[in-house]
Amino acid sequence: MPTVPPPGENEYFIEAENASEMARLMQQDRLTTEGMGGVFPERADFSMLYDILDIACGPGGWALDVAFEHPEIEVMGIDISRIMVEYARARTQELSNASFRVMDALKPLDFPDASFDLVNARFIFAFMPPTAWPMLMDECRRITRPGGIVRLTETEWNLTNSLAYETLHAMTTRALKKAGKSFSPDGRNVGITPMLGQFLRQAHCERIQHAAYALDLSAGTKAHGSLYRNLMVFFSLIKPFLLQTQETTQEEFDALYNQMLAEVLSDTFRAVSFILTVWGETLTQH
């Protein structure tokens, strides 16, 4: 029988203190922000934002971009990884309005009630078992001021014309399903994006809105090289998880991995990533 972490257990399927993962997340941050058209593409008015929290900030890419673009806003980032937080702190340089703390988002957040005007969480499903979302959403609402915003961004990953990538992707989503880290009923996808609005409604947010983005990552685009490097690192890091869940063998994985890299580098490679941002307002105290 495959050995998988029990549903609900806090076990990120890539080691949180891994330096290669940190470098991958930095590149992913840049790719995502550029592809979405900025840190707040859906927002034009920042006059009522004074304090922002970024949950699972990783090496601090999004939080530092916000702090740089909006020096009038205080930005706090939290992450469970000490090396990520230390790296983010080292990158603050002259940004006196950015700070970072080590904190586990699966536990009560160490902030007083009504501390922030906006709470942001981007691509956090990887460490969030389905049973943990209600508590995190309650905590987000608790620490957000009345009239503030809770903002979630997630993706179902890439859609490509690479058979090897699609095979590895299918293995990954099935493994996540086995590990109790998926909302998909059959493991064909992650199933996180359809859930975002429900999370906010369950947290009693109001005026819920959404915006969708499509990132072209095909051969010949500016983002193609970043995607190649991201996939090269991601699948090498996720290999132990796929072997542990018995979704593949060493020999099969290595063959698919090498085939994927070749197909992604092909001039005929096509890929698109769909990203969904959903946000809601905390208009009243609950």
User: Which residue range forms the structural domain that includes residue 253?
Assistant: 19-282
- Please, are residues 85 and 56 in contact by the beta-carbon 8 Å criterion? no
Buried b (16+ CB within 10 A) or exposed e, 65-87: bbbbebeebbbbbbbbbebbbeb
Please report whether residue 171 resides in a domain. Answer: yes
pLDDT in tens, 248-275: 999 999 999 999 999 999 999 999 999 9
Which pLDDT score, from 0 to 100, does residue 2 have? 35
Judged against a pLDDT cut of 70, whether residue 3 lies above it is answered with no
**3-class state of residue 162 by DSSP:** coil
pLDDT (mean) for 115-127: 95
- Give domain status of residue 7, yes or no: no
What pLDDT is attached to residue 121? 98
Structure tokens at 116: 């922030």
Number of domains into which the chain is organized: 1
In a domain, 9, yes or no: no
**C-alpha–C-alpha distance, residues 196 and 155, integer Å:** 11
| CA gyration radius, the chain | 19
Is the pLDDT at 133 greater than 90? The verdict is: yes
- Phi–psi pair at 72, nearest 5 degrees: -85, -5
**Residue 17, pLDDT score:** 67
Confirm whether pTM is higher than 0.75: yes
Residue 262 CA to residue 238 CA, distance in Å, equals 19
In three-state secondary structure terms, 207 is strand
Handedness of CA 198, 200, 204, 205 (dihedral sign): negative
- The encoded tokens of residue 149 equal 């915003």
Q: Does some domain include residue 278?
A: yes
| Relative orientation angle of helices 224-244 and 19-36, to the nearest 10 degrees | 130
- Token readout for 46 is 């920042």
Task: Give the pLDDT of residue 14.
Answer: 64
According to DSSP, the residues that pair with 282 across neighbouring strands are: 148
Query: Do the domain assignments include residue 3?
Result: no
Q: Is the pLDDT of residue 117 over 60?
A: yes
Q: What is the residue-averaged pLDDT of the chain?
A: 91
pLDDT above 90 covers a percentage of the chain that reads: 83
C-alpha–C-alpha distance, residues 106 and 10, integer Å? 8
* 85 lies in some domain: yes
Closest CA to 213 of 4, 17, 40: 40
Decide if 52 is inside a domain.
Answer: yes
pLDDT in tens, 12-56: 556 666 777 888 888 888 889 999 999 999 998 999 999 999 999
Distance, in Å, from the CA atom of 29 to the CA atom of 59, rounded to the nearest integer, reads: 9
The domain spanning residue 57 has which CATH number? 3.40.50.150
pLDDT for residue 25: 83
- Within-domain flag for 5: no
pLDDT in tens, 204-254: 999 999 999 999 999 999 999 999 999 999 999 999 999 999 999 999 999
User: Do residues 205 and 141 touch, judged by C-beta distance below 8 A?
Assistant: yes
**8 Å CB contact between 151 and 121:** yes
Question: Is the pLDDT at 10 greater than 50, yes or no?
Answer: no
Helices (H), 128-178: 133-143, 163-178
